[in-house]
């Protein structure tokens, strides 16, 4: 078990509401999370499930209209909710950093890479230009970039997508953060480059002893890299557990459906129908008591309408939100 000291981030009861013309959009509802030193937490889900909003809420980067509620957002013992914007920006980029899907939009096109990396170190650490440059060169070499000195003088458009994503990772590491949040870091990359970048993230995490929150829709990545997994659907975490628990014994019907959806070379019989989840995600606008998955769920029944969000535990560290007991879910849904 992990001690209190190793829990880098603890989020309790986080909700994000966004006012829209037709009411209130509940982007995130009552989410609990914790990120442990040296471990990877993966938040998985499809578009619109609230995984990115959760990350942005933690980083205080939500769009202006969004409203955040939480009982606790604690980073290394500091309650982030009580910090002023100024105090918060001393932490963001320093103790915790974020890596985005599209590195092109998060790098400034008119400044050389080097200036952008060094500025972070100078701002947060109060270091001199020289010290910052040394740190930048070290990290660029560390993320596998040959002749870092030259690269530091280049501009973002002169680099390939894979290189830019490595630079984003180096940028996140400039101040030796305790937590890195990576939002679909490899989605825009080719498969071989994706493998390189994931290796890099994993190695650096071990080297710098960081907590990593990985946000992705790709179950393959999650299975290979995550220690713990939180499956989100329509703003809620519907199932959470260790990587082994989730993939060996998926319990929530949505998790089971998601795993059945992806072809698995060597296991799924070729050219047979894949499992699929009928229908589409319901509207997140307005109050929705009950289970949000019920309109797509094969097991839906009347009581799912209002009582669907009880959290039940399968075993230690593995829980799900569904009215049906484990025996029933396993009995009907996992024949294979």
Partner 1 sequence: MAGGLFANEFRADAPGPGEIMRRRGRSHVGFLAGTGFVLLVVLLAVFAPWVSPSDPFTQNLDARLIDPFWAKGGDWAHPLGTDSLGRDYLTRILFGARISLTIGFGAAIISGLVGSTVGIIGGYFGGRVDAVVMYLINVKLALPGILIALSLVSVFGGSLIALIAILGFLFWDRFAVVTRSVTQQIRGQEFVTAAHAVGASHTRILLREILPNVTSHIIVIASLEMAIAILVEAVLSFLGLGIQPPTPSWGLLISEGRNFMFFKPWLIALPGLALFFLVIAINLMGDGIRDITVPEGRGR
Partner 2 sequence: MSEASAIASPTVPVLECDRVTRLFRVKRGLFETPVALRAVDDVSFAVHGGEVLAIVGESGCGKTTLARMLLGLLPPSSGSIRFAGRPMEGVGRSEIAARVQPVFQDPYSSLNPRKTLGQIVGLPLAVHRIGTEDERRARIAEIMELVGLPPHLVHAYPNQLSGGQRQRVAIARALAIQPAIVVFDEPTSALDVSVQAQILNLLMELRRTLELTYIFISHDLAVVEHIADRVAVMYLGRLVELGDTGRIFEDPRHPYTETLLRSILTPDPALGLPPGPFDGEFPDPLAPPSGCRFHPRCPKAMEHCGATAPEARTDSSGLVECHLYNGKSHDR
> Rule CB under 8 A: which residues touch partner 2?
46-47, 160, 162-163, 190-196, 198-199, 202, 217-226, 243-244, 246-248, 257-268, 270-271, 273-278, 280
CB of 277 to partner 1, least distance (A): 11
CB of 27 to partner 1, least distance (A): 12
Nearest to 97 by CA among 43, 122, 61: 61
Cα 226–Cα 232–Cα 233 angle in degrees, nearest 5: 150
Q: Determine the Cα–Cα distance for residues 189 and 109; give it in Å rounded to an integer.
A: 20
24 binds partner 1 (CB under 8 A): no
279 binds partner 1 (CB under 8 A): yes
Identify the residue whose tokens are 């899907």.
101
56 binds partner 1 (CB under 8 A): no
Please identify which residue in 158, 295, 313, 332 interacts with partner 1, judged by CB under 8 A. 295
When the beta carbons of 95 and 166 are compared against partner 2, the nearer one is: 166
When the beta carbons of 58 and 281 are compared against partner 2, the nearer one is: 281
User: Which positions ≥6 away from 239 have C-beta within 8 Å?
Assistant: 229, 230, 231, 246, 250, 251, 252, 254, 255, 319, 320, 321
Q: Determine the Cα–Cα distance for residues 317 and 229; give it in Å rounded to an integer.
A: 11
Q: Which region among 4-12, 183-191, 257-265, 291-299 touches partner 1 (by CB under 8 A)?
A: 291-299
Q: What is the CA radius of gyration of the chain?
A: 21
When the beta carbons of 92 and 294 are compared against partner 1, the nearer one is: 294
Q: Determine the Cα–Cα distance for residues 108 and 164; give it in Å rounded to an integer.
A: 12
Please identify which residue in 48, 50, 156, 177 interacts with partner 1, judged by CB under 8 A. 48
Please identify which residue in 203, 209, 301, 306 interacts with partner 1, judged by CB under 8 A. 301
Helix (H) or strand (E) holding 10: strand 7-20
User: Which positions ≥6 away from 250 have C-beta within 8 Å?
Assistant: 239, 256, 258, 259, 334
Query: In the window 302-331, what residues touch partner 1 (CB under 8 A)?
Result: 302
When the beta carbons of 83 and 249 are compared against partner 2, the nearer one is: 249
Bridge-partner residues for 24, per DSSP? 19
Q: Which of partner 1, partner 2, none is residue 205 near (CB under 5 to 8 Å by kind)?
A: none
CB of 280 to partner 1, least distance (A): 6
Residues engaged in binding partner 1 (CB under 8 A): 48, 278-280, 282-283, 294-296, 300-302
């Amino acid at each position: 078990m992990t001690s209190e000291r190793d829990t880098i981030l603890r989020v309790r009861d986080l909700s994000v509401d966004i006012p829209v013309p037709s009411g209130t959009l509940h982007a995130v509802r009552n989410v609990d999370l914790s990120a442990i030193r040296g471990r990877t937490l993966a938040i998985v889900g499809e578009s619109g499930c609230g995984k990115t909003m959760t990350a942005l809420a933690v980083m205080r980067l939500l769009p202006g209209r969004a409203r955040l509620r939480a009982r606790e957002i604690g980073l290394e013992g500091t309650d982030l909710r009580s910090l002023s914007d100024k105090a918060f920006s001393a932490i963001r980029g320093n103790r915790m950093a974020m890596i985005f899907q599209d590195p092109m939009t998060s790098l400034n096109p008119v400044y050389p890479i080097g200036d952008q990396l060094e500025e972070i170190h100078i701002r947060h650490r109060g270091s001199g230009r020289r010290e910052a440059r040394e740190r930048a060169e070290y990290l660029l070499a560390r993320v596998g970039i040959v002749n870092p000195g030259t690269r530091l003088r280049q501009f973002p458009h002169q680099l390939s997508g894979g290189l830019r994503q490595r630079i984003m990772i180096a940028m996140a590491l400039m101040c030796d953060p305790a937590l890195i949040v990576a939002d679909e870091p490899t989605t825009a990359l080719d498969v071989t480059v994706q493998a390189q970048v994931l290796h890099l993230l994993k190695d650096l995490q071990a080297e710098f002893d960081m907590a990593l929150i990985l946000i992705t829709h790709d179950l393959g990545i999650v299975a290979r890299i995550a220690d713990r997994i939180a499956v989100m659907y329509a703003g809620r975490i519907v199932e959470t557990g260790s990587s082994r628990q989730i993939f060996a014994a998926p319990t929530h019907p949505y998790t089971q459906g998601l795993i059945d959806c992806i072809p698995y070379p060597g296991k799924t019989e070729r050219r047979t129908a894949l499992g699929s989840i009928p229908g589409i995600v319901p509207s997140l606008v307005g109050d929705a008591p009950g289970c949000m998955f019920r309109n797509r769920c094969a097991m839906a029944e009347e009581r799912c309408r209002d009582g669907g969000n009880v959290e039940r535990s399968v075993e230690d560290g593995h829980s799900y939100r569904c009215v049906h007991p484990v025996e029933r879910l396993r009995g009907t849904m996992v024949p294979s």
